[in-house]
Amino acid sequence: MIVLPLSFHCLNNMINPISFVKNTRISYSKSLERNINEVQVQFNDEPHTWIPYDTLIAIDRMITNGKK
């Protein structure tokens, strides 16, 4: 089960990260030799892409400077 961060904070505006997530999946990484939780995201008009869930969390923490 993937739990998404509550919100992104950008310039004092709350942005719901769920609006960027189109889908979720679990895939196996041969190089890491473990399962990876991935989310399919689209931020603007670019084609959507799969990124690791940990990356989505890191983006949230970077934007909010670790504050919740």
Q: How far apart are CA 36 and CA 55, in angstroms?
A: 11
In angstroms and rounded to an integer, the radius of gyration of the C-alpha atoms of the chain is: 13
Digit-coded pLDDT (tens) for 2-32: 555 554 444 445 665 556 788 999 999 999 9
pTM (2 d.p.): 0.65
Contact 36, 29 (CB under 8 A): yes
Give the chain's mean pLDDT.
77
d(CA 46, CA 44): 6
Percentage above 70 pLDDT, the chain: 68
CA distances from 51 to 15, 26, 36, 54, 68 (A): 18, 11, 10, 8, 22
pLDDT at 61: 80
Residue with tokens 């919100």: 7
Question: Residue 68 pLDDT more than 60?
Answer: no
